[in-house]
Structure 1
Amino acid sequence: MVNVLLAGGISMAVALLGTPFFTRFLVRREYGQFIRDDLTQHHYKRGKPTMGGAVIIGATVVGYFVSHLLLVAASSGGALAVAPGRLSLSALLVLFLLIGMGLVGFLDDYTKISKARSLGLTSRQKLFGQTLVTVVFAVLALLVTDGTGHSSASTAISFIRDTPVDLAAAGPAVGLVLFVLWANVLITGASNGVNITDGLDGLATGASVMVFGAYSGIALWQYNQNCATTPGPSCYEVRDGLDLAVVACAIAGACFGFLWWNASPASIIMGDTGSLSLGAALAGLAILTRTELLLVVLGGLFVMITMSVVIQVASFKLTGRRVFRMAPLHHHFELLGWAEITIVLRFWIIAGICVVSGLGLFYAEWVTAQ
């Protein structure tokens, strides 16, 4: 538990104190946000520093590794009675997703800035980058095993734990291909979902704090109820649960510190650098904690906002009519006259309800499995 809280506290402090310095750096370089002409209510944000997601990524990496180093030092000096947790492949894979997708988002943000347009990378370029990162993650998560022969991921589709639906039923080779495709759907979908949600000051950041906080608790619970140490009918076959909790809390802490500067009126915007990386990390945690479909509930706000875009596009193409005044959904409420801060706060409440519902399902399943 000390590992988890230490990582979250360090990353929060780094993000809270480091964001103003990064903001001033972006201002000097004139790396500002480009706003679409049809979003007239957001024209005042034009030129506001973007790519703030780099702070979240950097703070997470610092929080994760420094917490491990401090605990190792304290343990070797006799100041810590409990041995510190080791670095794990599972947590490093989540960090790989965070950094890899952050790089894709950075290239997208930089293209927007350098070409002074609202569109960055082409859809093919972005998809190629997302696919490349996902394939590396999926192959390593499935094929690299520990000393007991356990891999970080499973070919079984999971809800709260692995279900009987196993992608490897037709053979290991087919299972690997199907798992890579399934991982690509989850990671691309989650990263784009957070990206679409990031349209109002603090909206995506605040919701991300809640979901990553939930995954900190889920992974820690799975570690304490792991089949290797606590065998029983309700134990979890999850590898590296403690370190997954550490990295999840580090990301939550980084988002929390960044939110101080990103809340309305934001002095910096996370950009695609942050939104793509956060969504990918969420999907990575869902895959490695065997809670893939539970992410739909925990991240219900991201799903709801993404579906508003799908519904809008489908309705217009099929009937020529729009369901919402503008998609994504938060812009619809802006055109109805709602203040930005009102929309953000109420959407945060919805995000909180989704997180509590997801945690309730997770705990209820464990109780009934006793």
Structure 2
Amino acid sequence: MVNVLLAGAISMAVALLCTKPFIRLLVRHRYGQFIRDDLVHHHVKRGKPTMGGAVIIGAALVGYFASHAILEALGAAGVLKASHRSMSLSALLVLFLLIGLGGVGFLDDYIKIRKERSLGLTSKQKLLGQTLVTVVFALGALLLTNTDGRTPASTAVSFIRDTDLDLAVAGPVGGLLLFILWASVLIAGASNGVNITDGLDGLAPGASVMVFGAYTVIALWQYNQGCTVAPGPSCYDVSDARDLAVVSCAIAGACFGFLWWNASPAEIIMGDTGSLSLGAALAGLAIMTRTQLLLVVLGGLFVIITASVIIQVISFKLTGKRVFKIAPLHHHFEMVGWSEVTIVARFWIIAGLCASAGLALFYGEWLANR
């Protein structure tokens, strides 16, 4: 628990203190955001510093590794046992997703700035980058083993635990290929969901804090009720659960510290660097904690906003009519006349309710299996 809180506190402090100097650096180099022409409410944000997600990624990495280094020093002094301070393969793979998709998002943001347009990488280029990172992650999650000889991930499709639907039924090679495909769907869906949601000041980082916070609670609970700690019918067979809580809290803390500068009126925009990386990290946590489909509930706000885009596209192609004035959903409410602060506050409430509902389902299932 000490490691979890320490990682969150360090990452929050780093994001809080380092974002302002990063803003000055971006302003000096004129790295500003370009806005879609149809978003007339947001033309005032044109040229605002972007790529703020780099601060979130950096702060999360500092929080995770610094907390382990501090506890390593305390362990060397005989204050803590080695088991309380060791890094894990599972957490490192989640951080790999954070960095990898952050790199794809950084290229996207950089192209927008260099070419002075609102579109960066093409959809094919972005998909290729996401796929390459996902394949490396999936191979590592299924082929590498941690200190206890287990692989971080399972080929079984999971909801709150692994279900009976096991992709390994297709054989060793087929199961691996199906897992890569399934992981690609989860990671692409989550990263693009957060990306679509990142359209108003503070909306995506604030919602992300709640979901990463929920995953911190889930991973800690899985560790305390793990089959090696508390064997029984309701125990969790999750590898490295405690360290997954550490990395989740580190990312939550980084988002929370960044939110100080990103809340309306934002001084910096997270950009695809942040949104793609945060969504990928959420998917990585869902895979590692065996709660893949529960992410749909925990990140319900991202699902709702993404669904609004899908509904809009399908409706327009089939009927020639639009369901919303503009998609995604938060921009629709801007057109209706809601203020940006009102939309963000109410959507944060929805995000909190979704995260709470996911935690309730998670805990309720544990109670039912006792």
Note whether the superposition's TM-score is higher than 0.5: yes
Match of 1:192 in 2: 192
CA distance in 2, matches of 1:37, 1:328: 15
The alpha-carbon distance between structure 1 residues 147 and 344, as it changes in their structure 2 partners (threshold 3 A), is closer
Residue 309 of structure 2 is aligned to residue 309 of structure 1: yes
Whether the 8 Å CA contact 1:75–1:83 is kept in 2: the answer is no
Match of 2:3 in 1: 3
Q: How does 1:265-284 map to 2 (within 5 A)?
A: 265-284=265-284
CA distance in 2, matches of 1:27, 1:190: 30
Runs of at least 5 residues in structure 1 that lack an aligned partner in the other structure:
none
The residue identity in structure 2 corresponding to 1:118 is S
3-state SS of 1:3 partner: helix
Match of 1:351 in 2: 351
Q: How does 1:144-183 map to 2 (within 5 A)?
A: 144-183=144-183
TM-superposition CA deviations, 1:239-275 (whole Å, max 9, x none)? 0001000000000000000000000000000000000
TM-superposition CA deviations, 1:105-126 (whole Å, max 9, x none)? 0000000000000110011110
CA distance in 1, matches of 2:92, 2:15: 20
Match of 2:285 in 1: 285
Match of 1:258 in 2: 258
CA distance in 2, matches of 1:6, 1:272: 28
3-state SS of 1:165 partner: strand
Whether the 8 Å CA contact 2:34–2:112 is kept in 1: the answer is yes
Match of 1:216 in 2: 216
Match of 2:141 in 1: 141
The residue identity in structure 1 corresponding to 2:117 is R
Match of 1:26 in 2: 26
Match of 1:54 in 2: 54
The residue identity in structure 2 corresponding to 1:300 is G
TM-superposition CA deviations, 1:253-308 (whole Å, max 9, x none)? 00000000000000000000000000000000000000000000000000000000
Distance apart, 1:82 and its partner CA: 8.0
Whether the 8 Å CA contact 1:301–1:350 is kept in 2: the answer is yes
TM-superposition CA deviations, 1:157-200 (whole Å, max 9, x none)? 00000000001112111100000000000000000000000000
Whether the 8 Å CA contact 2:88–2:146 is kept in 1: the answer is no
3-state SS of 1:164 partner: strand
3-state SS of 1:70 partner: helix
Aligned length: 370
Distance apart, 1:80 and its partner CA: 4.3
Whether the 8 Å CA contact 1:214–1:355 is kept in 2: the answer is yes
Distance apart, 1:83 and its partner CA: 5.2
Under a length normalisation based on structure 2, what TM-score does the superposition of the two structures give?
Answer: 0.99
Match of 2:364 in 1: 364
CA distance in 1, matches of 2:148, 2:221: 21
3-state SS of 1:204 partner: helix
CA distance in 1, matches of 2:34, 2:361: 41
CA distance in 1, matches of 2:84, 2:214: 22
The residue identity in structure 1 corresponding to 2:104 is V
Distance apart, 1:79 and its partner CA: 4.1
Whether the 8 Å CA contact 1:35–1:118 is kept in 2: the answer is yes
3-state SS of 1:35 partner: coil
Q: Percent identity?
A: 75
The residue identity in structure 2 corresponding to 1:283 is A
The residue identity in structure 2 corresponding to 1:146 is N
CA distance in 2, matches of 1:366, 1:153: 21
The residue identity in structure 2 corresponding to 1:322 is R
The alpha-carbon distance between structure 1 residues 73 and 161, as it changes in their structure 2 partners (threshold 3 A), is same
CA distance in 2, matches of 1:162, 1:37: 46
Under a length normalisation based on structure 1, what TM-score does the superposition of the two structures give?
Answer: 0.99
CA RMSD of aligned residues (A): 1.0
The alpha-carbon distance between structure 1 residues 147 and 340, as it changes in their structure 2 partners (threshold 3 A), is closer
The alpha-carbon distance between structure 1 residues 148 and 257, as it changes in their structure 2 partners (threshold 3 A), is closer
